[in-house]
Structures are given as C-alpha cells and as structure tokens.
C-alpha cells in the first residue's frame, strides 16, 4: 500500500542529489539528532524548525503573524526528547492493541496523545517517521489507503501512548463519529490531540468535522501541517499564512503555533517529538514561553 512506499526521512532532503538522497546511509543519517547537529546552521534550521525557515522567506519588514517561539526548545532539549523515541531493552516501543470502541481501549494510566485527520493526510506516515528510531515497531496501515477502521495504540516505554485514529472524509468508516467522538470526549488520559492538515490543500470541509469536535469538547489540540516537501516555497507560505489566520481568528482550543512536517524529509519531526515528550510531562523543557 502507498504508505509502505514512503520511507520516512529519505530523499529530497535539502535538495540533495540522488546519490545522497537515497540508500541506506542517507536513510539513517538524519534520524539521530547527533547527526543533525553536525549540519550547517541553515540546513539545521530547515530540518528542525521548518516554520522559522519559512519565516525567513518573507519580505523583511512585512511582519507576518506566524507564532514561532511559543514552543521553541533548545537543541539540548530536542536531543533529550529523542531518548524517549529510541527503542531499547529498557524503553520498549511497540504496537499495543487496536480497538473499535472506547470500551475496547486499553485502560492506561500513561498520558496519551492522539493523531486525527482526513484519510490520506499522512497520519500513518507521520507516526512511522516519529518512530523511525524504533524500526521494529509495526505501524498498522490499512490495506487500502483511508481504510483504517480501528483506533491503534502504541506504547512508548513507560512514558506515554500514541494513538492513531481512523481517518475521516472520503470513505470514512460509518461508525467514525461513534468511535472518534466518544474517544475524544471521554478518554481521561488524553493530553493532546494532533489534528493533521495537508499543507498542499489547506483546511478542507472534512477537516472542519474534527476542528468542530475539538472545539466543542474544549480539547487542547495542535495543528500539524503534513507533506511540506510537496509544495513550492511560495505555495507553502501562502497555505501556512491562511491556516495561521484561521487558527488565530476561528479557534479557541488550538495551540497557536503550527507544526509543519514532512515524513519524507524528516522536517519538523524532531521538534514534534520534543513537543510530545514535553506535553506528556516527560521532558520539562525550557521551550515554552507560556503554555
Ligand atoms: N511527499 C510526501 N508524501 C507523503 C507524506 N506523508 C504521507 N505521504 C503520502 O500520502 C499518502 C497517504 O499517507 P498515509 O500515511 O497512508 O495517510 P493516512 O491515511 O492519513 O494514514 C501515501 O501515499 C504517503 O506515501 C509526506 O510527508 N510527503
Ligand atoms: Mg493510516
């Protein structure tokens, strides 16, 4: 299936030639933050802080309203966060179980974060990219794209659980509302919902289902913009500004800072790992100006 074809964080990185962008060495090269730290600063910013890099492309003095520094951890904090996502005998990262209804969900004391979004927005690919330091984890993808009908739970050591929700929109399972709505409304250990929006097309009608749910249940949620490698810089800038405006003017519970990512180039993945480790209470970064 399509998601299998996408090897996270490979290729097109920094516009590399094919000899660098493919092959095993390149595949592993930027997974580990120690390698990232060796990059020249411009490339490091592009990989680790994609929003900041985009911001640098605005005409000086135009003051676009992007929030860049609400969560802005140090490189040391990002490196620390990585340990939570690195599988070892003492930090087991694994697929736990699937559920079709909340009463089938594991009763967990650990904090939980979940990922929701339209079918094909890139949920499974993002989860794979987040888990690229734990390559044994089997990220469940449905045989046909957009057909994830179950809520999938992944255990990240003793620290937190990451939850992949069924996609909505095109061919969404009929009982989607039952499943997702009940989960969002009633899951006691849910710390944050990550709402994925495709950066190529921006917020679509179907995305409003999830946005309205999060707003209605007063959930704290975060907008993650996927597939940022696919657009030209100009197109991406336009979309990001539009989405930022939407968040600023139309939402209450949405975290004001956007998280652009690419599962393909690994852009934004290290920062997102750090944010997850932080909001689940594991990291205690100095990255928040306020929370
Ligand atoms: N170029 C690019 N393609 C992506 C990215 N993330 C996902 N895709 C592709 O988008 C399609 C849907 O991805 P998938 O993760 O299965 O979406 P899901 O239905 O939300 O789980 C697949 O063909 C992926 O290869 C990305 O960051 N960049
Ligand atoms: Mg999926």
Q: What is the DSSP secondary structure assignment for residue 183, as one 8-state letter?
A: H
pLDDT score for 104: 82
Closest residue by Cα to residue 151 from 138, 141, 164:
164
Ligand 1 mutation target, pool 7, 9, 11, 120, most atoms within 8 A of CB: 120
pLDDT score for 26: 39
- Identify the residue whose C-alpha is closest to ligand 1 atom 28: 227
Question: Which ligand sits closest to the CA of 139?
Answer: 2
pLDDT score for 194: 98
pLDDT score for 164: 93
**Cβ proximity of 122 and 170 under 8 Å:** no
pLDDT score for 16: 36
CB of residue 229 inside a 6 A radius of ligand 1 = yes
- Distance between CA 59 and CA 37 in Å, rounded? 28
Closest residue by Cα to residue 22 from 13, 11, 14:
11
Residues of the chain where predicted confidence (pLDDT) is lower than 50: 1-5, 10-28, 291
pLDDT score for 81: 94
pLDDT score for 21: 35
pLDDT score for 206: 87
pLDDT score for 143: 58
**Cβ proximity of 191 and 161 under 8 Å:** no
Its pTM stands at 0.89
pLDDT score for 20: 33
pLDDT score for 286: 75
- Distance between CA 127 and CA 181 in Å, rounded? 21
CB of residue 6 inside a 6 A radius of ligand 1 = yes
Query: Could you tell me the distance, in angstroms and rounded to a whole number, from the CA of residue 126 to the centre of ligand 1?
Result: 8
**Cβ proximity of 96 and 155 under 8 Å:** yes
Query: Could you tell me the distance, in angstroms and rounded to a whole number, from the CA of residue 116 to the centre of ligand 1?
Result: 14
- Identify the residue whose C-alpha is closest to ligand 1 atom 2: 227
**Cβ proximity of 11 and 27 under 8 Å:** no
CB of residue 262 inside a 6 A radius of ligand 1 = yes
pLDDT score for 25: 37
- Identify the residue whose C-alpha is closest to ligand 1 atom 26: 227
Q: How far from the centroid of its chain's Cα atoms is residue 58's Cα?
A: 25
Phi, psi of 157 (to 5 degrees): 55, -140
**Cβ proximity of 154 and 93 under 8 Å:** yes
**No. of helices (H) and no. of strands (E), the chain:** 13, 7
């Amino acid at each position: 299936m399509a998601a299998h074809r996408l090897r996270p964080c490979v290729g097109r990185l920094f516009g590399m030639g094919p000899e660098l962008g493919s092959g095993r060495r390149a595949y592993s090269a930027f997974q580990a933050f120690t390698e990232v730290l060796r990059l020249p600063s411009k490339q490091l910013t592009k990989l680790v802080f994609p929003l900041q890099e985009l911001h640098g492309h605005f005409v000086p003095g135009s003051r676009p309203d992007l929030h860049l520094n609400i969560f802005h951890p140090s490189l040391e904090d990002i490196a620390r966060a990585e340990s939570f996502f690195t599988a070892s005998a003492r930090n087991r990262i694994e697929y736990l179980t699937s559920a079709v209804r909340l009463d089938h969900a594991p009763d967990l004391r650990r904090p939980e974060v979940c990922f929701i979004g339209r079918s094909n927005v890139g949920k499974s690919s993002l989860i794979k990219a987040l888990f690229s330091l734990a390559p044994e984890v089997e990220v469940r993808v449905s045989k046909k794209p957009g057909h994830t009908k179950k809520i999938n739970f992944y255990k990240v050591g003793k620290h937190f659980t990451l939850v992949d929700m069924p996609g909505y929109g095109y061919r969404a399972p009929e009982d989607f509302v039952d499943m997702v709505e009940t989960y969002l409304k009633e899951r006691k250990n849910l710390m944050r919902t990550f709402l994925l929006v495709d950066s190529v097309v921006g917020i679509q009608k179907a995305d409003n289902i999830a946005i309205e749910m999060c707003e209605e249940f007063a959930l704290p949620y975060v907008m993650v913009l996927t597939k940022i490698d696919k657009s030209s810089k100009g197109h991406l800038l336009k979309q990001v500004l539009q989405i930022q405006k939407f968040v600023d003017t139309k939402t209450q519970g949405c975290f004001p800072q956007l998280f652009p990512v690419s599962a393909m180039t690994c852009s934004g993945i290290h920062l997102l790992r750090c944010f997850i480790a932080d909001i689940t209470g594991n990291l205690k970064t100095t990255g928040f100006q306020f929370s």
